[in-house]
Structure 1
Amino acid sequence: MRYFIIEEDKAAGYTGSIDGTHKWGLPGVFRCPTCQSTWGDNSRAYPSVDLTPVASLADFEEVRAEPIEEYERLCALVRPLLPPDALPEPGMSLGPLVGRATGRFGALSSPWPWWLLLQREALEKLQAEGVRGLKGCPHQLHFHQRQPPELLELEFLDAGRLHPDCLPPDRKPPCARCGRERRTLPKSRLLDASTIPVHLDLFRLVDFSTVIVCTERFVDACQRLSLDGVAFHALPVR
């Protein structure tokens, strides 16, 4: 099985643009007492999560950093609402996309490397082809056009890691308290074969949440169905 990274196809000529964020999110961490880092990362998102059962919704609406004790308290409130095996972390995005959208969108669209949206018809065709791990989530985007596209945002499970051979040999382990890893996405990437999920055709890397990976089964289905809007770049496996 071959694997690929999904990115926007700039040569496709689509003008679709999204100015929005997910409705809720966990705060970042302010000055972790263990590693002294202030950080948050909103590239890991679970758009299916509904936080309305949580009493203090306002605590999840403002982008900010909090002392780690407050982050841990809020994380404990949302953890029961997350998908199984979700990986909560500071700054994580939750709920539907909210904002504005305009322009023409392809069958698939990746306005940011860690987002992937599909036209509903494209999603249904891929599901009919037996592509595994497709979970489309509704958005709350406002379109400035009479007949807006029916887009759904894909929610990804976290699986797979890059192979240690493409990472710096002197990299430090993650912080024992806040979980931060000081890492830079390498230009030359290798997928660690021992970490690849066997039940998914799309997934988000555990160690680099900005990278979405798909199988050749997904690529073949998109090409066979003439679904455009994104490009696929081979990801070697070791």
Structure 2
Amino acid sequence: MRYFIVEEDRSSGYTGRVDAVHKWGLPGLSNCPACNATWGGGSKDYPSVDLTPVASLADFEEARPEPIEEYERMCELVRPFLPPGAVLEPGSEFGPLVGNARGRFGPLVSPVPWWLLVQREALEKLQAEGLRGLKGCRTELRFRQRNSPELLELELLPLGRAHPDCLPRNRKPPCSRCRRNGLTRPDDSLLLLDSSTIPEHLDLFRLEDFSTAIVCTERFVNACRRLGLDGVTFFPVSSK
């Protein structure tokens, strides 16, 4: 099986723009006691997760750094609502995208590298092709135009990893407490997937260690091309 990185197709001619954030989120981390890092990822997002049953919901509505004890406490409040395979990190977000959208959108939309949106009709066509693991989640995007599309966000689980051969040899192991790896994502031309970590039951997922990278199978690419679904481009990536 061949694999591809999914990215925005800037030559497509579509003018659509999205200015939004997810409804809820974990705080960033302030001064990890093990590695002293202050950080927040935010690219491990779970739009299907509904946090309204959480009593202290207001704590998840403001982006901010917190000490690790508070971050870990909030993680435990969220964990019962996560889909199988979900991984949390500082800055992880939940619930629908809330904000504004404008312009002309293609069937597939990648407003930032770690989001993939899809028009409902396009999603239904892909699901009819038998592609696996395509879960469309509602958004709360406000359009200031007539005939606005219905954009859904695809929930992308972090399940694959980069192969060690494409990473620095002198890299340090992830922090024992906050799990930050401190590595820069390799360029697409240098990225190598670890074949032993690639999920065999999904045609679309994100990498766990470089979660801004959205990966799809050749089946997904072929279906999009056969159905004429554009708006994104596919960059081949090797595996080992």
TM-score class, shorter: over 0.9
* CA distance in 1: counterparts of 2:84 and 2:235, whole angstroms: 29
Verify the 8 A CA contact 2:117 2:153 in the aligned structure 1.
yes
State how 1:119-130 maps to structure 2 within 5 Å.
119-130=119-130
Q: What TM-score does the superposition give when structure 1 sets the normalisation length?
A: 0.99
Instruction: Indicate which of 183, 206, 209 corresponds to 1:207.
Output: 209
Where 2:123 maps in the other structure, the secondary structure is helix
Where 1:12 maps in the other structure, the secondary structure is coil
Code of the residue aligned with 1:222 in structure 2: it is: C
Code of the residue aligned with 1:100 in structure 2: it is: N
Where 2:192 maps in the other structure, the secondary structure is coil
Q: Tell me the residue number matched to 2:116.
A: 116
Code of the residue aligned with 1:35 in structure 2: it is: C
Q: Tell me the residue number matched to 1:144.
A: 144
Code of the residue aligned with 1:176 in structure 2: it is: S
* CA distance in 1: counterparts of 2:77 and 2:6, whole angstroms: 33
Q: Tell me the residue number matched to 1:8.
A: 8
Q: Tell me the residue number matched to 1:167.
A: 167
TM-fit CA distance, 1:85: 1.9
* CA distance in 2: counterparts of 1:34 and 1:160, whole angstroms: 26
RMSD: 0.6
Where 1:126 maps in the other structure, the secondary structure is helix
Code of the residue aligned with 1:58 in structure 2: it is: A
Code of the residue aligned with 2:73 in structure 1: it is: R
Q: Tell me the residue number matched to 2:237.
A: 235
The alignment of Structure 1 onto Structure 2 pairs a total of residues equal to 238
- Gaps of at least 5 residues in structure 2 are none
Q: Tell me the residue number matched to 1:132.
A: 132
- Gaps of at least 5 residues in structure 1 are none
* CA distance in 2: counterparts of 1:161 and 1:137, whole angstroms: 24
CA deviations on 1:146-185 (whole Å, 9 max, x unpaired) are 2110110000111111111110011111111111111011
Q: Identity over aligned residues, as a percent? A: 70
Code of the residue aligned with 1:80 in structure 2: it is: P
TM-fit CA distance, 1:142: 0.3
Where 1:118 maps in the other structure, the secondary structure is strand
Where 1:11 maps in the other structure, the secondary structure is coil
State how 1:1-238 maps to structure 2 within 5 Å.
1-187=1-187, 188-238=190-240
Verify the 8 A CA contact 2:85 2:159 in the aligned structure 1.
no
* CA distance in 2: counterparts of 1:195 and 1:70, whole angstroms: 31
Displacement over 2 Å in runs of 4+ = none
Code of the residue aligned with 2:199 in structure 1: it is: P
TM-fit CA distance, 1:11: 0.7
Verify the 8 A CA contact 2:20 2:100 in the aligned structure 1.
yes
Code of the residue aligned with 2:101 in structure 1: it is: A
Where 1:173 maps in the other structure, the secondary structure is coil
* CA distance in 2: counterparts of 1:168 and 1:52, whole angstroms: 42
Where 1:204 maps in the other structure, the secondary structure is strand
TM-fit CA distance, 1:84: 1.3
